[in-house]
């Protein structure tokens, strides 16, 4: 599975001159966790995340009385936080290509502790993959996955050729013609279906 198979597109984006309030409204309305930030030429220059928006944004409640032993009590900054996306966004930012293997994408999300990845063609954003997208793919119903795999295989080799079963996202395909090259193609096609976690393709003589 590649990034293009799971990414959301088109992408809701913002520009550096837009207000923090406007970006917060977009995140809230769409249930996003981050928004790519584009310059006037549509090139990716940053990302504004939930953390970027809420950092230093709320004043201490005057009714709050910290315990005497509370260490490192924060003080309210004299300078108010930036009011535009450009003042709070995370930059520089890394994007990944649409052909990126989802395994590599997941590794970067986890190792860098980020929740979304812009998908780019050069410097231009063509999609975005979030942790939610990945979880939704894992949650897809086996019957839906099976139907998608059958559809892909039917386009390649005809509807009557393949027997497909899916259990917990793991796909088992039997090729009636028992052709090694075609089994490889069938594996590639099945792996591209969102929600597929493993693929095993056999011929009728080796099935079971």
What does the pLDDT read at residue 208?
52
Give the C-alpha separation, 191 to 173, whole Å: 12
Q: Are residues 133 and 146 in the same domain?
A: no
Is residue 65 situated within a structural domain?
A: no
Please tell me the predicted confidence (pLDDT) of residue 146. 96
Q: Judge whether 38 and 15 are in contact, CB under 8 Å.
A: yes
Closest C-alpha among 117, 116, 121 to residue 99: 121
Tell whether 147 and 129 lie within a shared domain. Answer: no
Which residues does the chain have with pLDDT short of 50?
none
User: How many structural domains compose the chain?
Assistant: 2
My answer on whether 98 and 174 are in the same domain is: no
User: In the prediction, which pLDDT does 68 show?
Assistant: 64
**pTM of the full structure:** 0.76
CATH number at residue 146: 3.30.1340
Q: What is the pLDDT of residue 144?
A: 96
User: What tokens appear for 87 in the block?
Assistant: 């003042």
Residue 71 counted as domain residue: no
Q: Is residue 33 part of a domain?
A: yes
What is the per-residue pLDDT for 180? Answer: 87
If you average pLDDT over every residue of the chain, what do you get?
89
Cα atoms found within 13 Å of the Cα of residue 48, Cβ hemisphere only: 30
Q: What gap in Å lies between CA 160 and CA 109, rounded to an integer?
A: 40
pLDDT score for 69: 56
Are both 131 and 150 inside the same structural domain?
no
pLDDT at residue 72, rounded to an integer: 53
Together in a domain, 146 and 131: no
DSSP-based three-state secondary structure for 25: helix
My answer on whether 132 and 146 are in the same domain is no
- Contact yes or no for 172/200 (Cβ under 8 A): yes
Is 88 within a domain? Answer: yes
The whole-number pLDDT of residue 46 equals 94
Residue at a domain's end among 93, 115, 137: 137
What integer pLDDT is reported at residue 150 of this predicted model?
A: 94
Same domain for 123 and 31: yes
Say if 67 falls within a structural domain.
Answer: no
Domain span at 175 = 142-203
DSSP string, 128-185: EEEHHHHHHHHTS-HHHHHHHHHHHHHHHH-TTSEEEEEETTEEEEEETT--HHHHHH
What are φ and ψ of residue 166, in 5° steps? -130, 130
């Amino acid at each position: 599975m590649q990034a293009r198979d799971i990414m959301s597109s088109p992408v809701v984006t913002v520009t550096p001159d837009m207000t923090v309030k406007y970006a917060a409204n977009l995140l809230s309305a769409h249930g996003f966790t981050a928004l790519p930030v584009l310059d006037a030429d549509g090139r990716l220059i940053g990302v504004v995340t939930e953390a970027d928006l809420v950092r230093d944004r709320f004043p201490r409640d005057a009714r709050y009385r910290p315990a005497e032993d509370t260490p490192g009590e924060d003080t309210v900054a004299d300078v108010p936080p930036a009011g535009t996306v450009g003042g709070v966004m995370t930059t520089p930012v890394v994007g990944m290509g649409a052909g990126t293997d989802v395994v590599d994408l997941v590794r970067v999300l986890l190792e860098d502790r980020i929740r979304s990845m812009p998908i780019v063609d050069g410097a231009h954003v063509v999609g975005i993959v979030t942790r939610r997208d990945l979880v939704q793919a894992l949650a897809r119903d086996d019957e839906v996955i099976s139907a998608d795999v059958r559809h892909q295989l039917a386009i390649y080799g005809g509807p009557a050729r393949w027997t497909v079963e899916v259990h917990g996202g793991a796909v088992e395909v039997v090729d009636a013609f028992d052709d090694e090259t075609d089994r490889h193609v069938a594996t590639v096609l099945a792996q591209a279906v969102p929600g597929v976690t493993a693929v095993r393709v056999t011929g009728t003589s080796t099935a079971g």
